[in-house]
């Protein structure tokens, strides 16, 4: 037999070398795959990034939400370490003006849907978190024996109402007009808490406020229920603001308000289910 030619020997040697190199490369590939699968925390980065970052949030909220939102905020901060919530309470119409002027804030809660609807350019999609109803509040022990809406027409009784541009003022006008009751208020206040305060301090004999405000006032006032057929239902929408610099954290808080934990706090304060 003739000896193998030099070119043939070179080709054979190259094939052997290539095969030898492929073996460790394949082994490295398997090892790398195994390390990726077995590495601690692999696949968890997505879920970790989904969790809202801690942030300092500013929430603008209707006056009637003052006490319940303070309680909700405290509970949220307790269960979401690193998040701090600062509330600014005022009449919904005042809050709307602040939002339109670009006030730095992350979320807004109003006492009516109409005010929120007027801010579509500034807010993301709102969600109703609670509902409420109106009651008559009279001075302690109800000295004038106010028992129904019609009694507010008595000129001997000093009645205070919220201004017509305030949600509770709109609701008050709506129910009084529906019953054809004419009331001449001694003053028209910028928010529901101001109405309540006037009655608590004896500066007015009666007024119309939300049921939750009368509950918070305790025995400082006498609350008189208004029949459902004469009453209105107030809805409370909340939305994140498009200008927020903490949109993820703000959205998490808004979503939490609709959670069982958030709803329990709202309903314990006397608010109705949304």
Query: What pTM was estimated for this model as a whole?
Result: 0.79
Helices (H), 90-166: 92-100, 113-117
Residues 125 and 113: their CA atoms lie apart, in Å, by 12
Distance from CA of residue 92 to its chain's centroid? 14
Residues 109 and 123: their CA atoms lie apart, in Å, by 11
- Torsion over CA of 209, 116, 237 and 256, rounded to 10 degrees? -130
Break the chain down into helix, strand, coil percent, rounded to 5. Answer: 45, 20, 30
Token pair in block for residue 235: 């809805």
- Whether the domain at 54-131+235-268 and the domain at 132-233 fall into the same CATH topology: yes
- Torsion over CA of 152, 155, 160 and 161, rounded to 10 degrees? 60
Q: Which of 113, 135, 142, 140 is nearest to 125 (CA)?
A: 113
Can you give the pLDDT of all 274 residues of the chain as single tens digits?
444 444 444 444 444 334 444 444 344 444 444 333 333 333 333 333 345 667 999 999 999 999 999 999 999 999 999 999 999 999 999 999 999 999 999 999 999 999 999 999 999 999 999 999 999 999 999 999 999 999 999 999 999 999 999 999 999 999 999 999 999 999 999 999 999 999 999 999 999 999 999 998 989 999 999 999 999 999 999 999 999 999 999 999 999 999 999 999 999 999 999 9
φ/ψ of 85, rounded to 5, equals -115, 125
CATH class given for the domain over 54-131+235-268: alpha beta
Pick the CATH number of 132-233 from 3.40.50.12280, 3.40.50.300, 3.40.190.10, 3.40.50.2000: 3.40.190.10
Give residue limits of the domains in the chain: 54-131+235-268, 132-233
Residue 43 DSSP SS3: coil
Token pair in block for residue 64: 């009637």
Residues 184 and 194: their CA atoms lie apart, in Å, by 17
């Amino acid at each position: 037999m003739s000896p193998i030619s030099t070119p043939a020997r070179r080709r054979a040697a190259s094939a052997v070398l290539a095969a030898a190199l492929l073996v460790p490369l394949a082994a490295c590939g398997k090892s790398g795959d195994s390390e990726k699968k077995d590495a601690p925390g692999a696949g968890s980065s997505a879920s970790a990034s989904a969790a809202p970052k801690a942030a300092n949030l500013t929430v603008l909220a209707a006056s009637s939400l003052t006490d319940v939102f303070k309680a909700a905020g405290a509970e949220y901060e307790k269960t979401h370490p690193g998040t701090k919530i600062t509330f600014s309470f005022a009449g919904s119409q005042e809050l709307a003006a602040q939002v339109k002027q670009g006030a730095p804030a992350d979320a807004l809660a109003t006492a009516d849907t109409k005010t929120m609807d007027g801010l579509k350019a500034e807010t993301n999609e709102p969600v109703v978190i609670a509902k409420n109803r109106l009651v008559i509040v009279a001075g302690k022990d109800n000295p004038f024996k106010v028992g129904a809406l019609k009694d507010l027409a008595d000129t001997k009784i000093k009645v205070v109402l919220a201004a017509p541009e305030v949600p509770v003022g709109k609701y008050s006008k709506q129910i009084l007009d529906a019953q054809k009751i004419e009331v001449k208020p001694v003053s028209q206040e910028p928010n529901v808490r101001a109405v309540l305060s006037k009655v608590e301090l004896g500066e007015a004999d009666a007024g119309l406020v939300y049921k939750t405000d009368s509950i918070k006032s305790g025995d400082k006032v006498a609350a008189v229920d208004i029949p459902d057929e004469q009453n209105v239902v107030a809805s409370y929408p909340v939305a994140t603001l498009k200008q927020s610099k903490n949109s993820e954290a703000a959205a998490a808080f808004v979503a939490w308000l609709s959670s069982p934990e958030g709803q329990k706090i709202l309903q314990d304060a006397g608010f109705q289910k949304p």
